[in-house]
């Protein structure tokens, strides 16, 4: 169920859906996603679906992880990324293979602790994590070349844009469940530009720590 053949089938599917970056496809084909979901669901880890990861949250569908990663890196390689919503740690682990340093914040402590164990187990030492409400970003570690949000706010969080370098991009779902859109926000000298990509379905961004 977790064999290379099963993983290759997932990669074929992502290609069919338009993911073109071979480096990203290769990372998704080799990263053990079954270690990021509950053991009882490990046999479904290489299906192209979101899966529960406890605390009422989900690990994103591999297609979405690939797409958001592609969008983040589409203007060339970057060195530092902030992720809001660590969850299982899967998206952060994909990014850790592509950028020098990943910063990730999560509001649910129990979730973050589990993700941290996975980072250790996989030897991913370039991921720095923090238990906090990510709506404020991580100013002390910024500015970042890229920001990725994996929980959906109702409005573009301007506090986060201020933590982007000029020309930096933020990839995020925007809006309420059922009506969300994936958008790319690029910080410009004077303000920012927004590009709408496609419909998505993420858990909402929630304020406060747990």
Give whichever of 30 and 188 is closer to ligand SAH, judged by the CB atom: 30
In the complex, the smallest distance separating the C-beta of residue 189 from ligand SAH, rounded to whole angstroms, is: 28
Helix (H, G, I), strand (E, B) or coil at 192: strand
Give whichever of 154 and 166 is closer to ligand SAH, judged by the CB atom: 154
Residue 85 binds ligand SAH (CB under 6 A):
yes
DSSP for 15-76, written as a single string: HHTT---HHHHHHHHHS-GGGGS-GGGGGGTTSSS-EE-STT-EEPPHHHHHHHHHHHHTTS
In the complex, the smallest distance separating the C-beta of residue 3 from ligand SAH, rounded to whole angstroms, is: 22
Bridge partners of 171, per DSSP, are 148, 184
Q: Which range binds ligand SAH by CB under 6 A, 122-130, 161-169, 183-191, 199-207?
A: 199-207
State yes or no: is 88 an active-site residue: no
Query: Which structure tokens are listed for 134?
Result: 């990510």
d(CA 171, CA 162): 14
**Given the residues 60, 80, 88, 93, the one annotated as active site:** 60
Residue 108 binds ligand SAH (CB under 6 A):
yes
Q: How many CB atoms lie within 10 A of CB 124?
A: 17
Q: Which of 80, 150, 163, 180 binds ligand SAH (CB under 6 A)?
A: 150
Residue 138 binds ligand SAH (CB under 6 A):
no
In the complex, the smallest distance separating the C-beta of residue 196 from ligand SAH, rounded to whole angstroms, is: 21
CA distances from 72 to 78, 116, 131 (A): 9, 23, 23
Residues at the site binding ligand SAH, with contacts judged by CB under 6 A:
53, 57-60, 84-85, 87-88, 90-91, 105-108, 111, 133-135, 150-151, 203, 205-207
Which are the catalytic amino acids? 60
């Amino acid at each position: 169920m977790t064999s290379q053949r099963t993983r290759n089938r997932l990669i074929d599917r992502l290609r069919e859906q338009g993911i073109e970056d071979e480096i990203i496809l290769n990372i998704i084909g080799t990263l053990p996603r079954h270690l990021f979901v509950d053991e009882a669901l490990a046999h479904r880890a290489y299906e192209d679906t979101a899966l529960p990861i406890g605390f009422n949250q989900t690990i994103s569908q591999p297609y979405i992880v690939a797409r958001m990663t592609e969008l983040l890196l589409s203007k060339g390689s970057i060195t530092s990324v902030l992720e809001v919503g660590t969850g299982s740690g899967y998206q952060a682990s994909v990014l850790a293979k592509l950028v020098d340093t990943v910063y990730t914040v999560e509001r649910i402590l129990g979730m973050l602790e589990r993700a941290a164990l996975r980072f250790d187990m996989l030897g991913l030492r370039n991921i720095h994590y923090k238990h906090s409400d990510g709506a404020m970003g991580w100013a002390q570690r910024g500015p970042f070349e890229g920001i990725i949000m994996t929980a959906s706010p109702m409005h573009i969080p301007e506090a986060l844009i201020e933590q982007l370098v000029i020309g930096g991009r933020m990839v995020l779902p925007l809006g309420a469940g059922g009506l969300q859109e994936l958008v790319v926000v690029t910080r410009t000298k004077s303000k920012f530009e927004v590009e709408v990509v496609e419909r998505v379905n993420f858990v909402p961004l929630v304020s406060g720590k747990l």
